[in-house]
Amino acid sequence: MFPSPDLTAALRKVWQGVANPAARLAVATSGGADSAMLAAHAVALAREHGTEIILFHVHHGLQTAADGWADHVQALGRILDVPVATAHARVDANTGLGIEAAARDARYASLAELSCQHDVQHILLAHHQNDQAETVLLRLLRGTGPDGMAAMAPTMQRDGITYHRPWLNQSRASILQAAHAFAEQHDWHAVQDHTNADPRYTRAAVRELLSPVLDARWPGWQARLASHARHAAETSSILEEVAQNDMATLELSLDGTSFSLVRWRSLPSARQSLVLRHWLRLNGARMPTEARMADLLRQLRQLHSLGHDRQMQVAHAQHVIHCHRGRVRIEPRSEA
């Protein structure tokens, strides 16, 4: 059925969470079934609330079919009678993070540019329950902690923009049903990105190789993993409160870049790690691997046992962590 009552109800919650429901909203639209249906349902709701909708399309330029996808989104915009804005992403494949991560970063950078150009502060993303379950699996296999197991958040802030994922509890099957009904009504068919089924890519490998086995043995596993992500998010929020309370005891500097080593050392071992990760996040540092965190903890604990006047300096991604006269400090890494 199009529009789907369940998809519409889930999307309606976004308008309840936006301070000014008449503000302009954007839908990140690739031309695939998920984002196209999000756009179509959003346009129907927007007319109820007097909200202006614009479709944002990011052209990655990584496939020869990309030009056709951009044209396809323009055609969708004409059917829905809403404007479409396209940005050409600059994907840096030499970041060392892999092509998937590089494309994701480029996509968010392009969405930020489009938001600035079109005065948009809220963007809708079409991630659904299956995406969430895949993310939980990937995070688990990579050895993430409770924060990572929360997977994708329903809302998040990035580059001053609020991103909304209203369909994290909606199955892809329901989205495809709506897409089929939409195609029958408007003769517009979603594009197919072959990389989504190419097991050379990590997420596609989970989708094509692992998911069928799980479907056969544990039908409905996606809903259970999505539920696990919600529970992990609740746990993570509690741990965040603990970290904030502990941070308040560390004699933090006014700019938040340094804290008292002796105060930190008085915390229980697990909370030392927790508050250290919280401090790194506050200062925009990349989260360390388990091995890197263990080494950093070891050095800080050893430093304290040897006396406050011993100095330490650890390079971590784009930052340097050092300790002098009882203060642990983080600074941007020098380019020299």
Average pLDDT value for residue range 206-210: 91
Q: Are 100 and 135 in contact (CB under 8 A)?
A: no
Long-range contacts of residues 134-138, Cβ cutoff 8 Å, at least 24 apart: 134/203, 134/206, 134/207, 134/211, 135/229, 136/225, 136/226, 136/228, 136/229, 137/206, 137/210, 137/225, 138/202, 138/203, 138/206
Phi, psi torsion values for 324, nearest 5 degrees: -150, 130
At 49-107, the pLDDT tens digits run 889 999 999 987 667 777 889 999 999 999 999 999 999 888 777 666 677 778 888 89
- Asked if 108 and 185 count as a contact pair (C-beta separation under 8 A), the reply is no
Higher pLDDT, 175 or 193: 175
CA distances to 14, 65, 201, 270 from 196, in Å? 27, 14, 8, 39
The per-residue pLDDT for 308 is: 52
Report pLDDT for 336.
Answer: 46
* Beta carbons within 8 Å of 87's beta carbon, 6+ residues apart: 56, 57, 58, 59, 110, 111, 113, 114
List the structure tokens of 22: 């008449």
Mean pLDDT of 286-311: 76
Unique residue bearing structure tokens 């046992």: 305
Please tell me the pTM assigned to this model. 0.83
For residue 240, what pLDDT is reported?
Answer: 93
Share of the chain above pLDDT 70, in %: 94
Cis status, amide bond into 212, omega within 30 of 0: no
Mean pLDDT on 193-202:
83
At residue 177 the predicted structure's pLDDT band, cuts being 50, 70 and 90, is very high
Distance CA 149, CA 132 (A): 10
What would the mean pLDDT of 322-326 be, rounded to a whole number?
85
What percent of the chain shows pLDDT beyond 90?
64
Side chain identity, residue 91:
V
Distance CA 226, CA 223 (A): 5
Tell which residue, 294, 329, 293, has the closest CA to residue 311.
329
Q: Is 273 helix (H, G, I), strand (E, B) or coil?
A: helix
The pLDDT value recorded for residue 324 is 83
